[in-house]
């Protein structure tokens, strides 16, 4: 597992030595891109497999990697290649796959039923493909393959059938790449059909290949099921290409982790770690301080300014941005949040759909809920919940409060135990607290209600009407003392 984890910058960016000869680097990466633009590209994602070993009712390709379906990752990579057609062959899980993936742009959904092998899967997609250019086959359960790698196998355009292969220490289960004495690929043999000598071959078929589209229909027609699994093997087209004197090429990904597939929950967890390690090292490369690159999860995107520090076990979901010098304490969850420079978020805080200003102090144990906007230097302390509220600069709610549907002005102090009573059981109402207000502890503000500028609310008040500016308002029963009152005492045991 560890050898698969990307360890250096090389996984996220081109290695340093490639950056210097700029033209060479540019050409190496741009040239294949041009080739793929010039020839029409069909992408077919195979995703009809059963996924029995997932032991789940959810179709395999819908299981999440970094919070999004496996298939969504493959579709995103495919889209980056600007294909002319994008097809997904689905089967197991029925209509759930196209339904869940509905928002992912124009996709040709091709149902394969029954599932008679990878060659059969491609036969179903054939009527929807451009008969010219290149057909690129991807797997819906191989989500980490990089665009640069796909561009490598597309570099020959329609002049060759190009396979993506890797050498594995343990090739068990995979189709083996058989080469002749000259080193040319001549065919692929599946594990179940391989002779003992062939099983020793360590170069394997990842399944990802670029096929000259004009040849594909003819080759698929010639596939037979006379093999160990009685299936139409797509891999048999390699021998047909050799027979037809079409060049067969092979290319390798930067790291073997790119072609890891998901067949079980263990492999899904492993791929998640690889994906997260890539994020972590990308952040470290940018200068972000991570207490532990193995203990951060990014399920979406995370943009960081300079001198950002993130402690252990934080989860970032959706679109998160952290400005310069933002510090995030341990065990925080941030979802669709933008945090401006200099703000410190203390441990165990949960923030969602919110905008946090500069130099704020949040937490520990703060909860910022959707629709919240905090201006500069706001303090939201422990066990404070803020929802759908705007809080002006330098205002503070440091302990144990609920601030919901509220507009808070500048320089406001909200005492411990303050609650905005925003809900009457049917409707939500707003509370308005103007600038320079001081709210004493254990106050209930029954909305709709306004506290005017400079007002002070006495501790323990229940405020139901407007509190006027620059005055003390309190609602509290008068304190009384009963002189000579005695607490009852327990009788000694045995007495009645």
In the annotation, is 399 catalytic?
yes
Given 41, 75, 150, 204, the residue binding ligand UD1 (CB under 6 A): 204
Q: Tell me if 122 contacts ligand UD1 by CB under 6 A.
A: no
Q: Tell me if 43 contacts ligand UD1 by CB under 6 A.
A: no
* Residue span 141-180 as binding mask against ligand UD1, x where in contact by CB under 6 A, dash where not: x--------------------------------xx-----
Cβ proximity to ligand UD1: between 49 and 392 the closer is 49
Q: Tell me if 117 contacts ligand UD1 by CB under 6 A.
A: yes
Q: Which of the ranges 27-35, 135-143, 308-316, 456-464 carries the binding residues for ligand UD1, by CB under 6 A? A: 135-143
Q: Which of the ranges 110-118, 322-330, 401-409, 451-459 carries the binding residues for ligand UD1, by CB under 6 A? A: 110-118
Cβ proximity to ligand UD1: between 111 and 430 the closer is 111
Q: Which of the ranges 148-156, 198-206, 409-417, 458-466 carries the binding residues for ligand UD1, by CB under 6 A? A: 198-206
Burial classification of residue 364, based on how many CB atoms lie within 10 Å of its CB (0-12 exposed, 13-18 middle, 19 or more buried)? middle
Given 83, 93, 207, 392, the residue binding ligand UD1 (CB under 6 A): 207
Cβ proximity to ligand UD1: between 177 and 408 the closer is 177
The answer to whether 303 and 318 are in contact (CB under 8 A) is no
Given 5, 40, 43, 47, the residue binding ligand UD1 (CB under 6 A): 47
Q: Which of the ranges 80-88, 231-239, 320-328, 331-339 carries the binding residues for ligand UD1, by CB under 6 A? A: 231-239
Q: Tell me if 49 contacts ligand UD1 by CB under 6 A.
A: yes
Q: How far is the CB of 53 from ligand UD1 (least distance, A)?
A: 10
Cβ proximity to ligand UD1: between 128 and 295 the closer is 128
Q: Tell me if 139 contacts ligand UD1 by CB under 6 A.
A: yes
Given 158, 190, 317, 355, the residue binding ligand UD1 (CB under 6 A): 190
Q: Tell me if 69 contacts ligand UD1 by CB under 6 A.
A: no
Cβ proximity to ligand UD1: between 115 and 398 the closer is 115
Q: Which of the ranges 117-125, 283-291, 361-369, 463-471 carries the binding residues for ligand UD1, by CB under 6 A? A: 117-125
Which 246-265 positions form the footprint of ligand UD1 (CB under 6 A)?
261
Please state the three-class secondary structure of the chain as a single string.
CHHHCCCCHHHCCCCHHHHCCHHHHHHHHHHHHHHHHHCCEEEEEEECCCCHHHCCCCCHHHCEECCEEHHHHHHHHHHHCCCCEEEEEEECECCHHHHHCCCCCCCEEEECCCCCCHHHHHHHHHHHCCCCCEEEEEECCCCCCCHHHHHHHHCCHHHEEEEEEEECCCCCCCCEEEECCCCCEEEEECHHHCCHHHHCCCEEEEEEEEEEHHHHHHHHHCCCCCCCCCCCCHHHHHHHHHHCCCEEEEECCCCHHHHCCCCCHHHHHHHHHHHHHHHHHHHHHCCCEECCCCCEEEEEEEEECCCCEECCCEEEEEEEEECCCCEECCCCEEEEEEECCCCEECCCCEEEEEEECCCCEECCCCEECCCEEECCCCEEEEEEEEECCEECCCCEEEEEEEEECEEECCCCEECCCCEEECECCCCECCEEECCCCEECCCCEEECCEEECCCCEECCCCEECCCECCCCEECCCCCCCCCCCCCCCCCCCCCCC
Q: How far is the CB of 231 from ligand UD1 (least distance, A)?
A: 7
Q: Tell me if 59 contacts ligand UD1 by CB under 6 A.
A: no
Q: Binding residues for ligand UD1, per CB under 6 A?
A: 46-49, 89, 112, 115-118, 120-121, 139-141, 174-175, 188, 190, 204-207, 233-235, 261
Active site (catalytic) residues: 399
């Amino acid at each position: 597992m560890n050898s698969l984890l990307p360890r250096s910058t090389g996984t996220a960016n081109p290695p340093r030595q490639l950056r210097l000869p700029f033209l060479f680097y540019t050409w190496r990466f741009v040239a294949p891109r041009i080739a793929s633009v010039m020839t029409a590209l069909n992408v077919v994602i195979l995703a009809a497999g059963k996924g029995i070993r997932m032991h789940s009712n959810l179709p395999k390709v819908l299981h999440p990697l970094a919070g999004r379906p496996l298939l969504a990752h493959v579709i995103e990579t495919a889209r980056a290649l600007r294909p002319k057609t994008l097809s997904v062959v689905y089967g197991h899980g029925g209509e759930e796959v196209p339904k869940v993936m509905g928002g992912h742009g124009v996709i040709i959904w091709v149902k394969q039923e029954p599932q008679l092998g990878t060659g059969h899967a491609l036969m179903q997609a054939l009527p929807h493909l451009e008969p010219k250019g290149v057909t690129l086959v991807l797997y819906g359960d191989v989500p980490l393959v990089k665009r640069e790698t796909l561009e490598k196998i597309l570099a020959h355009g329609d002049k060759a059938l190009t396979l993506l292969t890797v050498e594995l220490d343990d090739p068990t289960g995979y189709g083996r790449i058989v080469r002749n004495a000259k080193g040319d690929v001549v065919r692929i043999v599946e594990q179940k059909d391989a002779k003992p000598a062939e099983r020793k071959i360590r170069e394997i078929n990842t399944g990802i290949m670029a096929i000259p589209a004009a040849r594909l229909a003819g080759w698929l027609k010639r596939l037979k099921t006379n093999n160990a699994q009685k299936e139409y093997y797509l891999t048999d087209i390699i021998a047909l290409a050799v027979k037809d004197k079409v060049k067969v090429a092979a290319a390798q990904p930067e790291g073997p982790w790119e072609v890891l597939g998901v067949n079980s929950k263990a492999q899904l967890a492993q791929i998640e770690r690889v994906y997260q390690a890539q994020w972590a090292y990308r952040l470290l490369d940018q200068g972000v301080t991570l207490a532990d690159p193995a203990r951060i999860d990014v399920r979406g995107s995370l943009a960081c300014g300079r001198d950002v520090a993130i402690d252990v076990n934080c989860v970032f979901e959706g679109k998160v941005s952290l400005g310069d010098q933002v510090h995030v304490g341990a065990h925080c969850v941030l979802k669709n949040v933008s945090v401006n420079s200099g703000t410190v978020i203390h441990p165990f805080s949960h923030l969602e759909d919110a905008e946090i200003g500069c130099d704020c102090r949040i937490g520990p144990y703060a909860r910022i809920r959707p629709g919240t906007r905090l201006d500069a230097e706001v303090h939201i302390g422990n066990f404070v919940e803020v929802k759908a509220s705007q809080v002006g600069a330098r205002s503070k709610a440091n302990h144990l409060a609920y601030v919901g549907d509220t507009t808070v002005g500048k320089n406001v102090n909200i005492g411990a135990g303050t609650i905005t009573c925003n809900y009457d059981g049917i409707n939500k109402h707003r509370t308005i607290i103007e600038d320079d207000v001081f709210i004493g502890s254990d106050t209930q503000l029954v909305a709709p209600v306004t506290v005017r500028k400079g007002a002070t609310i006495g501790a323990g008040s229940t405020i139901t009407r407007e509190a006027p500016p620059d005055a003390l308002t309190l609602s509290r029963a008068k304190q009384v003392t009963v002189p000579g009152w005695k607490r009852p005492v327990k009788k000694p045991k045995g007495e009645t």
